Every structure is written in C-alpha cells, then in structure tokens.
C-alpha cells in the first residue's frame, strides 16, 4: 500500500507517544520506509532504542550532528514524502505555528514543503485554550491536515477532548494523501469568491450574503490536486496558495483578466453585484429632511461574459455559477448561452440548507454541449471535488 513511500514521523513529549510505536509498525507492515524524529521531551515517554528497532532507522533528536556534512533538518525534509507529527503537543504546535525552530523536529517542520499531518493530543483545558486554537488555525491555513483529538478519559485524569485520535485514522489519512492523484499538477486555476463590495460613501456599501465558502472549497480542492491557485477574494482568508484581495466588481475584473492568458481554468464562484453606485461620496452622506433618498446605480461589467468574449482560444476553461431562486434549470440553460462559458454550476439560493453561507450545496452542472449533471446535496468541499472531476476527469 505504501511501497517506496518515505514517511517521517515526528514524536513530541506527550503520554500518547507510546502509541506511536504501533503506528510505526503499521507503516512498516505497509512497506513504507519510516524515519523518526523526536523532541528531547518525547524520550521521557518512549526510548530511542525502541523507535530505532521498530523503524529500522537511526532516530533523530539533536539538530547538529558533527559527523554529518549536510544539515540534518534539510536532509530529513528532502527525503520524506510526508511528515506525520503525532502526538503533537500544544508546545510544539505553538512553536511550528510561530516559526520557532529550537530543536530538530521544529526545524524540519519549518523547512518542510510537502504534506504535513498533525495529530494533537493534550489535556482538554489546553486543547480549548484560545492561543492553542489560534495556532491550530494557523497550521490549517498553512495547509496542514489536523486530525482532531477525540473525547474521553485522559491520562491526566480529566474527561474531555484531548485524546490522540485512533491510529487507524492517522494511517488512513497518510495513505489517502500519499496515494492521492495530483492530476491537476501543472495547471493554473483562478477562482473568485465572496460577494463584491460596492461603496456608496466612505462608510456604506452594497453587498450580498456570499461567504466565499464555495469558492474557497474549489480553490482548496484544486490546490490539493496539485494545481497552482490564485483565489481572487472579497473575504479575508489565509491559505498556502496565493490569495488576492479585492472589493468591487471592477477590482475583481482587473485581477481576473490579468490572468486570462496564463490561466488554464477560471471559475467565477463570486457573487458579483450587477450594479454599483454611480457616484461614490468620499465622505459620509448626511441625512436630509426628505423622507426619500434616491441612489443612482450604474451597471457593473459582466466579468464572466467578458472573459468568454476576450479569450482567443479554448483556453482557459471558463466556469460560471448561476444563482437563482426560481426556475433554476430553465434560467441556467439561458445563462450558459448568454455568458458563453464552458460550464455553469446552477444552485438554488432560495433554500436555507444550501447556497449562500451554508457549508453545503446542491448543484446541477451544465456544459456548453447541452450536458446536464445534477449533484446531490453534500458538503461544499465534496461538491468542489465533483465539479473539478467533471471538468478534468
Ligand atoms: O459564497 P458562499 O456563501 O459559499 O455562496 C456560494 C454562492 C451561492 C455565492 C455560489 O455558489 C454562487 O452561486 N455564485 C454565483 C453568484 C452569482 O453572482 O450568480 P449570478 O447568476 O448572478 O451570476 C452568474 C455568473 O456570472 C456567476 O459566475 C457570477 O460570478 C458572474 N457574474 C455576475 C455578475 C457580474 N456583473 N459579473 C459576473 O461575472
């Protein structure tokens, strides 16, 4: 299952360290080459000799080995296909999240450019700690896969969330990541997300309820499958790939069109305002005696349509979304013709359990040749993978 794969296990100083002996055996039984690196504190819970025997490799602990020519942390990082940090203590998570490299394990993590899985285990109070959670979020934003701890009886005597997740969970996730196809490697995706922000004056704007979740899910899925990704976003999000922040439809259009000739695929998941204020006041507009206020609006550019008109070949593949509250498929069929895109993803935004702001969606994929494929309600993360599969197989 893991023939020829190089797995680097990082063990930190928590009681669950003893469980990792069995994890090493599981990886070895699956034919992986396993190397282990420990923080000095991990050796309070498990011996170097045990780890060395199980992994059949030297165990790394000290950062500076005077017998080695190449810096050790770089050679560990170069050699491994994946790094699995388990158990990951609050201390090590905090160091990695903040770029601190004060031992071999944290130095390797800092230099590591391939997938990292971290399986935290700690006392439940520590897990709930605000700073620990902020650090976990930083790791997630940087592309780490976090396998959350489970609830139950903890070695410190407390009951709560903090136990290392099951070894099978760590094993299965490692296999999934190592065997996942990077079938979008070499492709460049530009994906938009969020509702555009059209200013009225210095304090007010027109926008909509788009959270950006659908576009972010698509960007994450494309990135996981090896694509280079630019997310053109109106919502603030930190990711390992490039995020270009924009506000208005005009700004979004400039950011997207800049990539028209370089991109392989452009996906417009953003909810773009059709109109903007004709004049934007540079101060706060004052209330007047009148009971009425008229705001003059002008049409925004249709970014999606413009992309389709301006491309000079069948590259990039252009994908639009279609947000409708009635006659979804009828309107989507008309819209794909009007916009001229290759695919249109239709979703019903009148439903509360999908669409705007929800973690879920239910969509119908239309293509320019008349094909129609409905996808059942599922998490946006799953819908995103299905959409990419439909486009790239
Ligand atoms: O962000 P979430 O909370 O996750 O919600 C996701 C979503 C509901 C916003 C998303 O799934 C979605 O439907 N996005 C498209 C919303 C929209 O603007 O739909 P539309 O039918 O009005 O526009 C059709 C297409 O033209 C869209 O791809 C849109 O990005 C694009 N468009 C629209 C107007 C405009 N001036 N320029 C455009 O490019």
Task: Name residue, tokens 């392989």.
Answer: 264
- Main-chain dihedrals φ then ψ at residue 6, nearest 5 degrees: -105, 115
pLDDT bracket for residue 1 (50, 70, 90): confident
Kindly give the pairing relationship between strand 297-299 and strand 275-277.
antiparallel
Ligand 1 pocket check: which of 216, 253, 274, 323 to mutate, most ligand atoms within 8 Å of Cβ? Answer: 323
Q: What is the pLDDT of residue 393?
A: 87
pLDDT digits (tens, 9 = 90+) for 170-224: 999 999 999 887 889 999 999 999 999 999 999 999 999 999 999 999 999 999 8
Whether residue 356 has its Cβ less than 6 Å from ligand 1 = yes
| Residue at 311 is within a domain | yes
- Is 110 marked active-site? no
Q: What is the pLDDT of residue 69?
A: 57
Q: Do residues 150 and 219 share a domain? A: no
Q: Is the pLDDT confidence value at 139 over 60?
A: yes
Quote the Cα angle for 211-212-217, to 5°: 130
What is the Å distance from ligand 1's center to 323 Cα? 6
What is the Å distance from ligand 1's center to 261 Cα? 22
Mean pLDDT of 38-58: 96
- Domain boundaries, position 129: 6-178
Q: Is the pLDDT confidence value at 155 over 90?
A: no
386: domain CATH number is: 3.40.50.10300
Helix (H) or strand (E) holding 50: helix 48-55
Q: What is the pLDDT of residue 158?
A: 85
Whether residue 171 has its Cβ less than 6 Å from ligand 1 = no
Number of folded domains in the chain? 2
| Residue at 183 is within a domain | no
pTM of the model: 0.82
Q: Do residues 226 and 313 share a domain? A: yes
Q: What is the pLDDT of residue 240?
A: 84
| Residue at 1 is within a domain | no
| Residue at 80 is within a domain | yes
Ligand 1 pocket check: which of 211, 212, 270, 344 to mutate, most ligand atoms within 8 Å of Cβ? Answer: 270
Atom of ligand 1 nearest to the CA of 331: 21
23: domain CATH number is: 3.40.50.1950
In this predicted model, which residue has the larger pLDDT, 66 or 342?
342
Neighbours of 334 (CB within 10 A): 12
pLDDT bracket for residue 141 (50, 70, 90): confident
Choose the final residue of a domain: 131, 153, 178. 178
Choose the final residue of a domain: 158, 178, 198. 178
Q: Do residues 133 and 253 share a domain? A: no
Q: What is the pLDDT of residue 73?
A: 66
Q: Do residues 24 and 71 share a domain? A: yes
pLDDT, averaged across the chain:
95
pLDDT digits (tens, 9 = 90+) for 298-346: 999 999 999 999 999 999 999 999 999 999 999 999 999 999 999 999 9
Q: Do residues 41 and 74 share a domain? A: yes
Q: Do residues 72 and 43 share a domain? A: yes
Choose the final residue of a domain: 117, 145, 178. 178
Q: Is the pLDDT confidence value at 63 over 90?
A: no
Q: Do residues 234 and 290 share a domain? A: yes
Quote the Cα angle for 25-31-33, to 5°: 80
What is the Å distance from ligand 1's center to 383 Cα? 16
Q: Do residues 332 and 281 share a domain? A: yes
Whether residue 214 has its Cβ less than 6 Å from ligand 1 = yes
pLDDT bracket for residue 64 (50, 70, 90): low
Whether residue 303 has its Cβ less than 6 Å from ligand 1 = yes
What is the Å distance from ligand 1's center to 130 Cα? 35
Whether residue 271 has its Cβ less than 6 Å from ligand 1 = yes
What is the Å distance from ligand 1's center to 324 Cα? 10
CB 152 within 8 A of CB 5: no
Give the helix ranges, DSSP H, for the chain. Answer: 20-29, 48-55, 72-79, 90-97, 104-111, 124-128, 130-141, 167-179, 213-224, 249-257, 303-310, 328-339, 380-392
């Amino acid at each position: 299952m893991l023939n020829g794969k190089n797995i680097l296990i990082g063990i930190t100083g928590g009681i669950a360290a003893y469980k990792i002996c069995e994890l090493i055996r599981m990886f070895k039984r699956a034919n992986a080459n396993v190397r282990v690196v420990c923080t000095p504190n991990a050796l309070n819970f498990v011996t170097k000799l045990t780890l060395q025997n199980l992994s059949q490799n030297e165990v790394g602990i000290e950062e500076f080995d005077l017998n080695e020519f190449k810096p050790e942390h770089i050679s560990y990082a170069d050699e491994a296909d994946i790094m699995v940090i388990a158990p990951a203590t609050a201390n090590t998570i905090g160091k990695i999240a903040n770029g601190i490299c004060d031992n071999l394990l944290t130095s390797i993590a800092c230099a590591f450019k391939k997938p990292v899985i971290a399986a935290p285990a700690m006392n439940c109070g520590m897990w709930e700690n605000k700073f620990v959670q902020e650090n976990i979020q930083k790791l997630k934003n940087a592309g780490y896969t976090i396998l959350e701890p489970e609830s139950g009886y903890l070695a410190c005597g407390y009951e709560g969330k903090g136990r290392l997740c099951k070894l099978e969970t760590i094993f299965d996730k490692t296999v999934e990541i190592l065997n996942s196809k990077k079938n979008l490697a070499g492709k460049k995706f530009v994906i938009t997300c969020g509702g555009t922000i059209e200013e009225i004056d210095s304090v007010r704007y027109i926008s909509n309820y788009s959270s950006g979740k659908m576009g972010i899910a698509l960007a994450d899925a494309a990135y996981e499958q090896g694509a280079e990704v630019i997310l053109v976003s109106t919502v603030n999000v930190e990711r390992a790939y490039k995020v270009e922040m924009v506000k208005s439809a005009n700004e979004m259009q400039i950011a997207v069109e800049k990539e028209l000739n370089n991109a392989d695929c452009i996906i417009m998941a953003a909810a773009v305002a059709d109109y903007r204020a004709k004049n934007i006041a540079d101060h706060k507009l004052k209330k007047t005696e009148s009971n009425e206020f008229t705001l003059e609006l002008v049409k925004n550019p249709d970014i999606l349509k413009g992309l389709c008109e301006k491309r000079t070949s069948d590259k990039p593949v252009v994908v639009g979304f279609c947000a409708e509250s009635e006659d979804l498929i009828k309107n989507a069929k008309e819209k794909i013709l009007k916009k001229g895109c290759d695919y249109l993803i239709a979703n019903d935004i009148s439903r509360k359990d999908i669409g705007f702001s929800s973690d879920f969606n239910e969509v119908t994929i239309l293509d320019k040749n008349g094909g129609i494929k409905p996808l059942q309600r599922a998490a946006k993360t799953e819908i995103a993978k299905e959409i990419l599969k439909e486009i790239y197989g």
